[in-house]
Structures are given as C-alpha cells and as structure tokens.
C-alpha cells in the first residue's frame, strides 16, 4: 500500500444527497481509506443557510457559506447542490484550480456538459457523474467503459422514478393520473411543483447524457424531443393492459440512418410509450429505474435499481469519489469524454417506430375500408386491427348512433407520416374521435 497524504474533500450542497454523502463519508472513513490508499478528509460542506434542517446528522462545524474558499482548498469537489448557477461557476473554479470534480447535476451536464468536459481535459482533471442518471444504478461507467468496444444501437430507459410510480399505480391500481400524482406527492415521490418530472424535463436531461455517452456525440438537452405523461389517461392504460402492453415514460436514444441524407445520425426522445408486458422493462415497478441497452455484439443488457433517493444517489457519488481518489493517488489524468463520432442529431420527424391508434368510429358497413385507405394513402402499414362495439350509453359523449372502437397497430412508420395520417383520420366523416395515439417500443 502506497503511503499518501490525506485527500481534502469538499461537498457543495447539503440537501438529501449531500447530507448522506457527508454522513457516509464520515462513517466509513477508514474503510474508504483502505480502498483508496489514502485518507479522505471531509474539509467542509458549502450551504446557503447554516441553519436549514438536514436529513442526516452532520457536524455543524463543517458547514460554511463560503463555497469559493472551500473549493480552492480541496483536492476533490463533490457538487450535489443542483441547478445551473452557481453550480456551473463553482465547477469551473474547481477544475481550473486543479481539483477533480464529481457531480450529480443532470441539468448542468445536459446544458453545459461539453464546456465542462473541455475544461477538465485541458487541465488534466477528472469529471465524474455516475449519480446524474439512474441514481444508484451504475450506468455511466458501463456505457463509457464496458461498452466502449461495442456499438450501441438503442437505449430504452425508465429514468424518472416519479412518473414510473404514477404510471405503475395507474396500471396496477387503476388510479387516474390525478389520483396517482396526489399519492406520489404525499409519499414524497413527487415534488410540490411536479412539472420537471411529469412533463419529462428530468428524463430529457438524462436522455441527453445517455445519448451523448452511447453515441460518442454531444447531444444537448434541446436536441431531445420531449413529451410528458400529462396526456396519459386511465382509459389508455386499461386498454394497453387488455392488449398485452404497459404504458411507460421512456427515454429512447437511437442510432439511425437519416432518411434524407442516408448517413448515420442519432435521435434522443422522451415520451410515453407502450411496451409489451413480456419486456424486462415492463417489470420495473414503483419508483425504480432501469436502462435497457441494445448493442451490436453484447446483445440486450439491462441495469436495474433505485433511481433516486438521497442515500442511494450518495452510493453513486461515493463510488465516483473512490475512483477519483485512487487516480489521485496512483497518478495520471482522468478519461476524457469521447465525442469523436460527432453524429448529426436527427429531429423526431426522422424517427420510425410503431404506433397504436385508438379511434371511436361510426358502426356501419364500409368504415374499416375507409379507415384502412387513410392509412395506405399516407404510406403507413397496418399490422393489426381490433374492433369492439361500444354501448352508446356507456360512451357518454355522442349517444346519437351506435359507435365502435378500433385499436389499430401499425408497422414501423415515420413520425411525419403518422402525424399526417392522424390529421386525416380526425377529418374523416366516419371517425367520431381519435382517442389515443401511442408509440410502441420494445417489440
């Protein structure tokens, strides 16, 4: 074992993750020192308010409001404060002053990642962020290192625990979105303002990070197509169940051929999607996360675990800390971010996938033929149609004629062709209503 001076660790932020990082670091100091070959000394925790309540027991004398001085005296800076500023400014200060950096800040990476990675490479510092996606689940290192010799084709990720909890309640318990959200809020799975989760902003940030890593291409968060779950109804979830599917909010990252240029490109998108109940992702319940990766040589892999939570996320942060500290002891710069592929980022209109469309139609002869011709006029190929006659009394919207419901599954089609098809269906005299349009993944 190499004898080495203690490494000075600074933590920025003492929220649910920061407090657990500090507590575990103090509690397991000897064990971590054994793994690193040097002591890890927590020199301070930068906070805005010295008197705010904390979720873990941390010595008050470690708290400081002077983040800058703390950063300038540290070997390794752990940023778990969140938000864009001053987090960005602090990390830039840390890197340029020669410290290694660990962050759990997905918003920061999805927005300012490339400039931070460039600074880190320039000064030979390390920048780790295992905790930014999937909480405790190791997914950054597997994508960056384990799959570095393979070619990733597709990632399907359940990367937001709040929305998975809500959709799982709607699926398993028959809740409405509002009911499920209310329970999620009460249990602390959803924040008072749930917008970031239910509108897919959080998942889109994670999709940007995963796509950048998997495809060796800087994918900014505004290159990610985003749809949240606020349009998902109890009826859609129940209908999905009847046809062997479950509705999940998926982050989908794909390597594609650009239909216009014929060259390779990448797409990252977040939207609710149907996946077959036999798919491993369908078994991801509650607030858990999972990332399903399809690679050329490795085939299908899945990484599953707790996607959030203070102590779980702290596990990922401390794993990064041990990596950074070991490298500090044995020497050598960190691994630079790899964006050599630099593929074009394709818009959602270039994506092809399957769809399930639910229509309320008039129940009269010839309707199916008219609907089928709308699909074929727009080059969307129908794979399966299920028809059920609806009791007009139960329908409740237009009781003037007996209605029927058609559930139409398509073969792969482009988003553009599908959008044109749906517009034409809505205008069709035999269609009373387009009830639902959902993408299907994982078939």
Point out which residues bind a second copy (CB under 8 A). 1, 20, 24, 28, 31-32, 34-35, 37, 130, 136-138, 141-142, 145-151, 216, 280, 283, 295-306, 309, 311-312, 314-323, 326-327, 330-333, 335-336, 338, 340-341
| Residue placing its CB nearer to a second copy in the complex, 8 or 226 | 8
Encoded tokens for 374: 């709308």
- Report in angstroms how near the CB of residue 29 gets to a second copy at its nearest: 11
| Residue placing its CB nearer to a second copy in the complex, 60 or 340 | 340
- Report in angstroms how near the CB of residue 145 gets to a second copy at its nearest: 5
| Residue placing its CB nearer to a second copy in the complex, 109 or 316 | 316
Positive or negative: CA dihedral 272, 273, 276, 280:
negative
Tell me how far CA of residue 154 lies from CA of 14, 27, 251, in angstroms. 36, 40, 10
Active site residues: 206
DSSP 430: T
- Report in angstroms how near the CB of residue 297 gets to a second copy at its nearest: 4
- Reference 207, options 224, 229, 228; nearest CA is 224
Cα separation, 371 vs 426, in Å, equals 11
Cα separation, 206 vs 346, in Å, equals 18
- Report in angstroms how near the CB of residue 305 gets to a second copy at its nearest: 4
Q: How does 48-67 read in b/e, with b if 16+ C-beta sit within 10 Å?
A: eeeeeebebebeeebbbeeb
| Residue placing its CB nearer to a second copy in the complex, 256 or 314 | 314
Encoded tokens for 12: 């920025």
- Report in angstroms how near the CB of residue 139 gets to a second copy at its nearest: 9
CA atoms within 13 A on the CB side of 317: 34
| Residue placing its CB nearer to a second copy in the complex, 8 or 354 | 8
Query: Hey, which bits of 259-329 come out as E strands?
Result: 264-276, 288-295, 299-306
Cα separation, 207 vs 201, in Å, equals 10
Asked if 47 contacts 344 with a C-beta cutoff of 8 angstroms, the reply is no
- Report in angstroms how near the CB of residue 117 gets to a second copy at its nearest: 14
Helices (H), 285-352: 310-330
* Exposed / middle / buried, residue 21 (Cβ in 10 Å: 0-12, 13-18, 19+): buried
| Residue placing its CB nearer to a second copy in the complex, 322 or 384 | 322
């Amino acid at each position: 074992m190499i004898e080495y001076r203690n490494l000075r660790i600074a933590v920025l932020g003492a929220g649910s993750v920061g407090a657990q990082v500090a507590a575990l670091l103090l509690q397991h100091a000897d064990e971590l020192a054994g793994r690193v070959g040097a002591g890890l000394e927590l020199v301070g925790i930068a906070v805005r308010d010295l008197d705010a309540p904390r979720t873990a027991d941390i010595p008050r004398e470690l708290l400081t409001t002077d983040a800058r001085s703390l950063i300038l005296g540290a070997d390794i800076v752990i940023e778990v404060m969140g938000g864009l500023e001053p987090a960005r400014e602090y990390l830039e200060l840390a890197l340029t002053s020669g410290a290694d950096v660990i962050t759990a800040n997905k918003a920061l990476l999805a927005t300012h990642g490339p400039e931070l990675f460039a600074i880190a490479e320039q000064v030979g510092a390390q920048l780790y962020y295992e905790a930014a996606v999937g909480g405790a689940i190791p997914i950054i290192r597997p994508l960056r290192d384990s799959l570095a010799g393979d070619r990733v084709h597709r990632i399907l990720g359940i990367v937001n625990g709040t929305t998975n909890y809500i959709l799982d309640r709607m699926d398993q318990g028959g809740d409405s979105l509002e009911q499920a959200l209310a329970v999620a809020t009460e249990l602390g799975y959803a924040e008072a303002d749930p917008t970031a989760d239910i509108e897919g902003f959080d998942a889109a940030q994670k999709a940007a990070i995963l796509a950048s890593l998997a495809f060796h291409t800087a994918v900014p968060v505004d290159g990610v197509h985003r749809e949240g779950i606020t349009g998902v109804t109890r009826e859609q979830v129940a209908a999905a169940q009847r046809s062997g599917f479950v509705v999940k909010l998926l982050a989908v990252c794909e390597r594609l051929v650009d239909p216009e240029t014929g060259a390779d490109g990448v797409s990252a998108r977040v939207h609710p999607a149907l996946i077959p109940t036999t798919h491993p992702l369908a078994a991801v319940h509650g607030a858990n996360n999972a990332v399903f990766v399809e690679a050329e040589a490795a085939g299908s892999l899945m990484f599953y675990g707790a996607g959030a939570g203070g102590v779980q996320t702290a596990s990922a942060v401390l794993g990064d800390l041990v990596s950074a500290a070991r490298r500090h002891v044995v020497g050598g710069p960190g691994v630079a971010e790899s964006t050599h592929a630099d593929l074009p980022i394709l818009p959602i209109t270039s994506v092809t996938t399957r769809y399930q469309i639910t229509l309320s139609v008039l129940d009269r002869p010839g309707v199916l033929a008219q609907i089928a011709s709308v699909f074929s006029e727009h080059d969307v190929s129908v794979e399966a149609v299920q028809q059920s006659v609806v009791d007009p009394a139960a329908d409740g919207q237009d009781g003037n004629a007996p209605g029927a419901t058609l559930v139409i599954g398509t073969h792969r089609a482009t988003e553009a062709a599908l959008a044109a098809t749906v517009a034409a269906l809505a205008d069709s005299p035999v269609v009373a209503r387009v009830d639902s349009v959902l993408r299907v993944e994982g078939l």
